[in-house]
Amino acid sequence: MDKSWMHIEDRLHSSEYVEGVRQFIVMAISHTANTDQIRCPCRRCRNRAFHSIRTVEDHLFFRGIDATYTPWIFHGEDDPFRNLTFSDEEEDDPLAHSDYIDDLDELSDDIHHGSFMDHHIRNDGESYGGDQPSTSNPPVNSNFEDLVADARRPLYLSCTKFSKLSFIIKLLHIKSIVGWTVKSFDMVIKLLQEAFLDTLFPDSYNDAHRLERGLGFSYEKIHVYPNDCALFWKENASYNDCPKCGASRWEQSTIQGRRIRQKVLQHSPLKPRLQRLYMSKKTAQDMRWHVDGHVDDPTCMQHPSDLKAWKDFDKKHMPFSTDPRNVRLGLASDGFNPFNNMSRPYSIWLVLLVPYNLPPWLCMEEPYTMLSLLIPGPMSPGNDIDVFLRPLLDELKELLEEGIRTYDAYSMQHFMLHAALLWTINDFPA
The pLDDT value recorded for residue 119 is: 43
Give the strand order in the sheet containing 327-336. 220-223, 264-267, 370-375, 348-355, 327-336, 419-425
The letter for the amino acid at 344 is R
Distance CA 73, CA 260 (A): 54
76 has pLDDT over 50: yes
The pLDDT value recorded for residue 70 is: 81
420 has pLDDT over 90: yes
The whole-number average pLDDT for the span 233-237 is 76
The answer to whether 300 and 360 have CB atoms below 8 angstroms apart is: no
The pLDDT value recorded for residue 87 is: 39
Domain residue spans in the chain? 4-62, 104-214, 219-267, 274-425
pLDDT digits (tens, 9 = 90+) for 163-201: 877 788 888 888 888 888 889 989 998 998 888 887 878
Which DSSP helix (H) or strand (E) runs through 214?
helix 205-214
The pLDDT value recorded for residue 111 is: 52
351 vs 8, 263, 331, 400, CA distance in Å? Answer: 48, 17, 7, 19
The pLDDT value recorded for residue 151 is: 66
Of 199-213, 327-341, 390-404, the range with the lowest mean pLDDT is: 199-213
Supply the angle between the helices 144-152 and 104-120 in degrees, to the nearest 10: 150
Longest dimension (CA), the chain: 83
Distance CA 163, CA 147 (A): 11
Distance CA 219, CA 381 (A): 21
Of 38-47, 77-86, 389-398, the range with the highest mean pLDDT is 389-398
Strand partners of residue 127: 121
Distance CA 100, CA 190 (A): 26
Band of pLDDT at residue 409, cut at 50, 70 and 90: confident
**Percentage of residues of the chain with pLDDT beyond 70:** 78
For residue 67, give every residue at least 6 positions away whose Cβ sits within 8 Å of its Cβ, in sequence order, or none: 6, 7, 43
382 has pLDDT over 50: yes
The answer to whether 149 and 115 have CB atoms below 8 angstroms apart is: no
Of 8-22, 82-96, 104-118, 292-306, the range with the lowest mean pLDDT is: 82-96
The pLDDT value recorded for residue 114 is: 53
